[in-house]
Structure 1
Amino acid sequence: MWYMIAILFILLFLNFPMMIVLIVPALLMMLIYAPNLDLVMFSQQLSSSIESYVLLAIPMFIFAADIMVEGRTAKRLLDFVNDLIGHVRGGTGIVAAATSTIFGSVSGSAQATIAAIGRPIRERALQYGYSDSHIIGNIVNSAGIAILIPPSIVMIYYGMLTGTSIGDLFVAGIIPGLMVFAGFSIWEYFIAIKKDIPVEPKATWGQRWKSFRKAILTFGFPVLILGGIYSGMFSPTEAAAFSVLYAFLLEVVIYRSVKLRDIYRIAVSTGVVTSIVFILLAAGGAFSWIISYLRIPQALTETVLSSNPSQLEILLIMSLFFLVSCMFVDSLVAIAILTPIFFPIASAADVHPVAVGILITMQATLGTVTPPFGVNIFTASAIFKKPYLDVVKGIVPYIIIFIAINALLIVYPEIIMVYQNIFGTSKGG
């Protein structure tokens, strides 16, 4: 098994396409340890890994996010949040984090969040005395909150793999997401005092009401997604379809910021992104299937539990594996490979599947903002046309906050489960 992992990392560092990185070791394991298996079964697993009805939510959420990035949703949100809290000490930085959190609940995509609000918030922050590295670090990390709150593609995929309620995952992710936002806001407040960063003029209540009226329809997205799923009105997949319709009506019909002729171009772009995601999911699913067939997860579970580790030790090891993996490969790929290995171990240690899912999502979030291959770093580098090292320079304080909250959730996973006391059990699948 270990030399297969070595082959995987060798292919990764030799810059082979991720599909090859996953398929070659999986095929080698199959040919060496299960030579009697028909290769047709392997090809069938490639297709069956992406046949789940639940996965239809992924392209639809991506499509809805692409429509909103093209339109005015982000600007309206930014104007409203800025009028509301921009005048407080550190307000511009807090506005960046708050807008990223809200837009994340609309789009579910960290990259879409950077693309939509990155430029306007950066320009505004530079005008008020923020250094470029400071505000870019804020944007890169705040955008990651989109992965922690619904509609999170990572949660959808984890829920599909493990049979965990996606509705429960969506709601459970809100508390960690707000904790990260609160941590960033506290940092912005104190660093603004230390550096004596000027505050923005205070908006009048008339201005706030005006910007709120412009942004109010945007808040229909989280209400639609969470309210619909949790009330049992529709499934996560149906919620994704409604989000596309809502985005279309909002941007094309009401705001008229997107032309009807633009929808085809946006759909093509969504199709390209979706095809890449699903190729990775197919390859990851095949890899997951062969290690499950060879009973590697079961063997590891027996080995790990034979030494009677504590629940904390299991969660620490699991989180470390996921974090390191998500630093080097796409989070969906890491989840496809590692979830079949660690989920049975965590379940045997009586860790709730929702808590496991949120902790995994937390590592995926950290992986997007952590060098060397954090995708948010490269996205910001492309959007702001800044060198990699310039982008990395400002992310350290936020990563420390992320890690501190991550450690807190690992030590006290019951924090994640607080949602049960508030909402009960989800009706969504």
Structure 2
Amino acid sequence: MIYVLMGTMIFLLLLGFPMFVPLAVGAFATVMIYFPFVDPSMLVQQIIGGVQPVSLIAVPMFIFAADIMTSGQVATRLLDFVLKFVGHKRGGLPIATTTACTLFGAVSGSTQATVVAVGGPLRPLLLKAGYSSSYSTALIINAAVIALLIPPSVYMIVYGVVAGASVGELFVAGVGPGLLIWLLFCIYSWLVSKESLQAEPAPWKERMKALKKALMSFTFPVIIFGGIYSGIFSPTEAAAVSVLYAFILEFFIYKSLLLKDIPKIALRTGMITAIVFILIAMGQVFSWTVSFARIPNMILPPLLGEGPTEFRILMVLSLAYFLGCMFVDPIVVIMILTPIFKPAITASGLDTVLIGTIVTLQAAIGSTTPPFGCNIFTAIAIFKQDYWDAVRGVFPFIAIMMLVSLLLILYPPLALFLRDMMIQ
């Protein structure tokens, strides 16, 4: 059964079909061959049901808000603010790059948008300052994935829907690991930089001016985060608020966009949303097939052994998601692996929010890991860079994120302390 399911998927992928086709065909083929008594309409119902959860409304909203801000001035103002404050210090430029990626990621929730909006203007500055092409690209694409951990995060929303975990709690749990990765990236950038790269510090008058310009951008995560945990609105409603705030900010306060720009931005959002929702829908029918066929009972015992410890479950889970995200879109990996590991997670009593944070971190690592990390190809397209030059410098950053992943497994409060504090 497993051979039919996976063999069909691999065969169709090798033929060049987009990922949603192998997911659907693999599921249908398995059910038709091994469970002929199942009405095919049940599979169609699963496809429809996959995109019915109310929480998924947040996905196009956050994408739309990110597209508005990417088209406007938010990234530029954040860049100017960060450079004015730390650009003159040792390692200031790469530290500024890491910080700008983190800040913009917290606003947009999109790694690709962060690579484009922050990496576009900063990579030439890094090259001019003497940093290698491979290091500059690696820094940008790895700092951009911090956006997956600091809310809003589309991957956390998808995981929350599939696993039945609280999206709001997932948002909070990602903040600690995200900030730790930011800090470790900054320390690494300081260590590999030289004193000769320092510049004159900006006058405090210019710093305050840059702060004033960026202040409204900082308000975005505060509104989203504070609104959810003060009970003013739910995570889904927060997504709608994010669109409204982005619209007001760019169209009326910054005046960087015109009303005629909305159709173009909305079309881009619609295309990305369609891809995401098709993957979720087909992932749902695949997940249902995996559960119905009791495939977890066939796969997990050899992997976990008899009476597995929480540590072993988390290590095997992390490795599985990491390897999957190296080759396939993380949304697909979440849809496929989550129902497989769910029985073991439930039986062990592990916190689904902790699991969601670890899964999202593996998605972040996989997004920058060769051979097929999606951020690598985004950078190649944007920076017109050779593949091997782009991936040469990623491994120290991947090692840092793997270290944080191990720390999460060994010390769960790293992710859960903020969540527990807010619940209390």
Q: Deviations over 1:314-356 (max 9, x none)?
A: 1111111111111111111110111011122123212111100
Aligned-partner Cα distance in 2 for 1:204–1:305: 59
Deviations 1:119-149 (A, max 9, x none): 1111222222222211111001000110111
Q: Secondary structure at the match of 1:16?
A: coil
Superposed, which structure 2 residues align to 1:54-93 within 5 Å? 54-93=55-94
* Identical counterparts, % of pairs: 48
Residues 248-275 of structure 1: per-residue CA shift (max 9 Å, x gap): 1111111111111001110011101111
How big is each residue's C-alpha offset from its partner over 1:404-426, in whole Å with a ceiling of 9 and x where there is no partner? 2112212322322221453235x
Q: Answer with 394-403 or 211-220: which moved more.
A: 394-403
How has the CA–CA distance of structure 1 residues 126 and 373 changed in structure 2, closer, same or farther, with 3 Å as cutoff? same
Return the letter of the residue paired with 1:118: G
CA offsets per residue over residues 258-298 of structure 1, 9 Å max, x none?
11100111001110111111111111011011112223335
Number of the residue aligned with 1:332: 331
CA apart distance, 1:302 = 6.8
- Which residue identity is paired with 1:201? E
Which residue pairs with 2:117 in the alignment? 116
Residue 49 of structure 2 corresponds to 48
**Match in the other structure for 1:97:** 98
Q: What are the within-5 Å matches in structure 2 for residues 162-181 of structure 1? A: 162-181=163-182
CA distance in 1, matches of 2:293, 2:2: 14
Equivalent residue of 1:144, what SS?
Answer: helix
Question: Separation in 2 of the partners of 1:34 and 1:134?
Answer: 52
How many residue pairs get aligned? The number is 423
Q: Assess if the C-alpha contact under 8 Å between 1:93 and 1:125 holds in 2.
A: yes
Equivalent-residue separation in structure 2 for 1:14 and 1:327 (angstroms): 20
Who is 1:341 aligned against? 340
Who is 1:38 aligned against? Answer: 39
SS at match of 1:160: helix
In structure 2, the residue matched to 1:144 is 145
Equivalence for 1:364? 363
Separation in 1, partners of 2:296, 2:309: 19
Corresponding residue number in structure 1 for 2:192: 191
**Range that drifts further, 301-310 or 330-339:** 301-310
- Partner of 2:258 in structure 1? 259
Task: Give a deviation string over 1:74-120, Cα, whole Å, max 9, x none.
Answer: 01001101111112210100111111111111000000101111111
Q: 1:386 to 1:302 in 2, by over 3 A?
A: closer
3-state SS of 2:197 partner: coil
Q: Note the alpha carbon deviations across 1:293-320, whole angstroms, 9 max, x for none.
A: 2233356567767701111111111111
Match of 1:388 in 2: 387
Deviation at 1:23, TM superposition (A): 1.0
TM-score, normalised to structure 1's length? 0.95
**Equivalent position of 1:202 in the other structure:** 201
Q: Give, as a single letter, the amino acid of the residue that structure 1 aligns with 2:314.
A: L
Label 1:216 to 1:363 Cα distance change in 2 as closer, same or farther (>3 A): same
Range that drifts further, 176-185 or 293-302: 293-302
1:250 corresponds to: 249
1:136–1:380 contact (8 Å) kept in structure 2: yes
2:2 aligns to what?
2
- Please report the TM-score for the alignment, with normalisation by the length of structure 2: 0.96
Look up the equivalent residue of 2:42 and give its one-letter code.
Answer: M
C-alpha distance in 1 between matches for 2:68 and 2:261: 9
CA distance in 2, matches of 1:58, 1:215: 25
1 CA distance for matches of 2:233 and 2:297? 35
1:124 counterpart letter in structure 2: L
Q: Counterpart of 2:91 in structure 1: which amino acid?
A: G
**Which residue of structure 2 lines up, in the alignment, with residue 182 of structure 1?**
183
Contact 1:114–1:139 (8 Å) recurs in 2: yes
- Measure, in 2, the Cα distance between the counterparts of 1:396 and 1:227: 36
Amino acid at match of 1:347: T
Which residue identity lines up with residue 245 of structure 2 in the other structure?
Y
Contact 1:301/1:344 (<8 A) preserved:
no
CA distance in structure 2 between the aligned counterparts of 1:363 and 1:14, rounded to whole angstroms: 28
CA distance in 2, matches of 1:162, 1:144: 22
Which residue is equivalent to 1:25? 26
Decide whether the 8 Å contact of 1:158 with 1:357 is kept in 2: yes
When the two chains are superposed, the root-mean-square deviation of aligned CA atoms in Å is 1.6
Aligned equivalents of 1:350 and 1:163: distance in 2?
Answer: 14
- Residue equivalent to 1:405: 404
Deviation at 1:34, TM superposition (A): 1.5
Give CA deviations for 1:349-381 in whole Å, capped at 9, x if unaligned: 121111000000011111100011100000000
Q: Which amino acid aligns with 1:139?
A: I
Q: Secondary structure at the match of 2:131?
A: coil
Partner Cα distance (1:7, 1:41) in 2: 20
Letter in 2 for 1:409: L
Matched, 1:373 2:378: no
- How far is the alpha carbon of 1:8 from its aligned partner? 2.0
What's the CA shift for 1:58? Answer: 0.5
Cα distance in structure 2, aligned partners of 1:211 and 1:327:
38
Segments of 5+ residues of structure 2 without an aligned counterpart are: none
**Greater CA drift, 347-356 or 71-80:** 347-356
Contact in 2 for aligned 1:128/1:200 (Cα 8 Å): no
Counterpart contact for 1:155–1:169, Cα < 8 Å: yes
Tell me the distance in 1 between the aligned counterparts of 2:345 and 2:326: 22
